[in-house]
Structure 1
Amino acid sequence: MICWGEEKRQADPGFFCRKIVEGVSQPIWLVSDTRRMSDIQWFQEAYGALTQTVRVVASEQSRQQRGWVFTRGVDDAESECGLDSFGDFDWVIENHGDEQCLEDQLENLLEFIHAKLQR
């Protein structure tokens, strides 16, 4: 499956992004799993300034407390860290284990989304 996806992406970097929105019209899209620069670039080219990028971060320590264990060849693959060098996210949500802090950040994002929907 991974090889098939990589072949599709090599031939057409926007293949999967187009499939997501093909034939469907929505006032807002929440795409929860962009993994590569080509994904972000496709949405920015297709939707311009309407595109908002959100990155959820968690410290390695908090991830380990949740049971995460680094696996070489998986956790260092492009599909997992291809956006690590993208430094221009519109929103960065910190999920280090402080529930109130997480709620506050998500509330700010939701308020922004609701305001956009009112226009």
Structure 2
Amino acid sequence: MPKLIIILSGKRKSGKSFLTEALTDYFGGDNCCVLTLAAPLKKQYAETHGLDYNRLLDTSGYKELYRIDMIKFGEHKRAMEPSCFCTMAIDQIEEKFRKDESKIWIVSDARNKYDIDYFIANYGKERVKLVRVVASDSVRDTRGFVFTRGVDDNNSECELDDFETWDLVFWNNNSSEFENIMTQLRDLIYS
């Protein structure tokens, strides 16, 4: 059982990956591991459709060619088993991180309430910290965001918009906000 699970959620190009890297640097790679819930989805999708899994993981246009179909694929899998990608992501963690109570897990991409409910139900609310990463539309645009119908208006992108029980909301519009979030995260984690 991990010491702490930090669950990040946010829209595309809000800065979830940026914050994940910053947290990994802060805690140190030997003390934390990143769970990417989209990785098992992309792996299954790639295997099912004969695609390049590694290219689905990167930020290239390759992934965008399949994004809408991957969303449908993921919805179908979650309809059968809502926590399937959570359990698969945990299965991919090295054993030392699964069993060591001093380790921290960073879930880099929660997309729906099932993801959050799974970790709280299985690890306890006291171990789970929920962080929403938010950036203005204009900032997201500068990061390469382009609204895509069927993606950005889908539950996988919008279901947590009205979720209200975040432990922390990180406005990721500029570097001064980043310093503030790191202070707030330290206070949240060590309180």
Q: TM-score range by the shorter chain?
A: 0.7 to 0.9
**CA-CA distance at 1:60 after TM superposition:** 1.1
Per the alignment, residue 45 of structure 1 pairs with 121
**CA-CA distance at 1:112 after TM superposition:** 4.0
**TM superposition score normalised by structure 2:** 0.54
Q: Which amino acid aligns with 2:77?
A: K
Match of 1:14 among 58, 83, 89: 83
**CA–CA distance in 2 between the matches of 1:75 and 1:5?**
15
Q: Which amino acid aligns with 1:10?
A: A
**TM superposition score normalised by structure 1:** 0.83
**CA-CA distance at 1:52 after TM superposition:** 0.7
What does the per-residue CA deviation read over 1:55-88, in whole Å, with 9 as the maximum and x for residues that have no partner? 1001112212333221111111111111111111
Per the alignment, residue 136 of structure 2 pairs with 59
Higher RCO (CA-CA < 8 Å; seq separation 6+): 2
What does the per-residue CA deviation read over 1:8-67, in whole Å, with 9 as the maximum and x for residues that have no partner? 211110111112223633422100011011111111111112111111001112212333
Shift in alpha-carbon separation, 1:41–1:60, aligned structure 2, 3 A: same
1:63-82 aligned within 5 A: 63-82=140-159
User: Are the aligned partners of 1:93 and 1:106 in contact in 2 as well (CA < 8 Å)?
Assistant: no
Per the alignment, residue 99 of structure 2 pairs with 25
Question: What percent identity do the matched residue pairs reach?
Answer: 41
The count of aligned residue pairs is 114
Any stretches of 5+ residues in structure 1 without a counterpart? Answer: none
**Is 1:105 equivalent to 2:181 in the alignment?**
yes
Q: Quick check: which one's strand share is greater?
A: 2
**CA-CA distance at 1:111 after TM superposition:** 5.1
Per the alignment, residue 5 of structure 1 pairs with 74
SS at 2:133's partner residue? strand
Match of 1:90 among 157, 167, 170: 167
RMSD between superposed Cα atoms in Å? 1.9
**CA-CA distance at 1:6 after TM superposition:** 2.2
